[in-house]
Chain A
Amino acid sequence: MSELDNTILLDISDGLAVLTLNRPDRLNSFTAEMHKELKAALKKITPEQGVRCLVITGAGRGFCAGQDLNERAETKGSTLDLSASLEKNYNPIIRKITQLEVPVLCAVNGVAAGAGSSIALACDIVFAARSASFIQAFCKIGLIPDAGGTWLLTHKLGRARALGLSLLGDKLPAEKAEQWGLIWKCVDDDKLLKEVLAVGKHLATQPTKGLSLIKRAIGASFTNSLSEQLDLERDLQGVAGETSDFQEGVAAFLDKRNPTFTGN
């Protein structure tokens, strides 16, 4: 089934890749080994390699508890270079996920804490189990939300809620996360994976190139002015207009049939 062992499972079929964080006994918290495997797995997520949608989820009762603090404890007494760890491990993951040229769904099956929360929130469409929660526990150990945490929370929630969550470190239950617009949808625990996989299978049949252009345009909107965004839309729509999926979409509409997209 999986192409990689141990801490990351990757299953690809019919254009849908399911990536499972797999250290369930440690709430899927990150170790150096897991970073390496995740990096290798994400390299396989390209339309050229036949992947047209990615689902990220966690094994066991948690989604991801962020950094495995046991690994940090090994260097107790000496100071740690946390910047280097972010630069080398977490930041490339967040950049990679947001730049993947396929839609990325997240099935947050349980607690998503620290960098684990950031990884979930960096995905394009986030579903969470009703029992799941998001926690920015950094403030309790003298750190700041990282792996994009301060950006993702602020852009999705606004200043007041981002500061409240980050300074207090309170648990944000999935239902409230949905009400606040932090995630797309809260789903009953036993239906979560089924629903996310159904959406994933659907997206894997859609105009992949077009979807990736939508993702890019919306991603760029946070830093662009309206005028710059109009220019970008003009350019990306030009690209979209040259895809064969666009032709197929129009042809199918005129023929009153269901389109068959190739992703190109």
Chain B
Amino acid sequence: MTYKDIQVTTDGGVVHIKLTREESLNALRNLTLKEISDALRLTEQSDTEKCVVISGSESVFAAGADIQEMQKLSPVSSLQNIRADYWKTIRQFPKPLLASVNGYALGAGCELMMHCDIVLVGDNARIGQPEINLGIIPGAGGTQRLVRAVGKSLAMKMILSGEHISAEKAVESGLAIELCPKEVTLKRTLQIAYNITKKSSLALKLAKEAVLNAFESPLEQGLEHERRAFSILTASTDREEGINAFIEKRSPNYI
């Protein structure tokens, strides 16, 4: 598959999706989102590709949506907007999704980042939801994911004032998990991704599902969900291999 706005490389079970429209600060136009969701669909079907890293360049992740495209929207066209389908593919992607974020992650860029399961930021990262400056609000989950990630006060400040936060603040507030020198962010993210590829695909899938389910259900239901997933895995050959490998003091080979 050939892409225009992204570059996709696969190495050792890790799919790296790099946004390559740096001249437009990787603004997430419809085509970019379509290509990301296409790449994720292909990865979902693959047996050998186990996890995905999304990155921009060393200096920018993605600075928002395409303002020209947004200008053309009416209430009806917005409701029917194809972008919603692309976002759905991204949020329902069942394999681990990691973000390596350097420079601006603004608006839709911040929302893409928050769709990812694990986020690492470079020391030059600037993160924000500045939609309010244009008289609009975040439209791809920003108001919902940000508050879940960082709590009400900071989410409100970012969304109501449009002010950016620094990489340090992002880590401190739980939006990202690790702060790296900007040259190292991608390498470090890939490293974590490679570690993940060594795990059982089935366990990864059920683990991701269980964690994401925590946002959807009350604790009792969440615990019940976890118990069922846990119990299903007792029947998996990967679980047998994992426990045997542990006892035999060797690395497991999952199918």
Interface residues of A (CB under 8 A from B): 216, 232, 235-236, 238-239
Contact = CB atoms under 8 A, between A and B. Distances in A.
B174 interface: no
Contacts of A235: 180-181, 183-184
Contacts of A232: 181
Given A235-B181, A236-B184, A239-B183, 4 more contacts: A235-B180, A236-B181, A236-B183, A239-B184
Contacts of B184: 235-236, 238-239
A218 to B, nearest CB: 14
14 contacts: A216-B181, A232-B181, A235-B180, A235-B181, A235-B183, A235-B184, A236-B181, A236-B183, A236-B184, A238-B184, A238-B187, A239-B181, A239-B183, A239-B184
A236 B181 CA distance: 7
Interface in B181-238: 181, 183-184, 187
Contacts of A238: 184, 187
A contact patch SS: helix
Interface residues of B, number: 5
Interface of B: 180-181, 183-184, 187
Nearest to B188: A235
A236 B188 CA distance: 12
A233 to B, nearest CB: 10
A232 B182 CA distance: 11
A200 to B, nearest CB: 25
A43 to B, nearest CB: 14
Contacts of A216: 181
A12 B184 CA distance: 31
Nearest to A240: B183
A217 to B, nearest CB: 9
Nearest to A238: B184
Contacts of A239: 181, 183-184
A21 to B, nearest CB: 28
Contacts of B187: 238
Contacts of B180: 235
A213 B180 CA distance: 13
A235 to B, nearest CB: 5
A216 B180 CA distance: 12
Most A C-beta atoms less than 10 A away, residue of B180, B183, B187 = B183
B195 to A, nearest CB: 18
Contacts of A236: 181, 183-184
Nearest to B59: A48
A232 B180 CA distance: 8
A188 B187 CA distance: 48
A238 B185 CA distance: 12
A92 to B, nearest CB: 14
A171 B240 CA distance: 77
A238 B181 CA distance: 11
A221 to B, nearest CB: 14
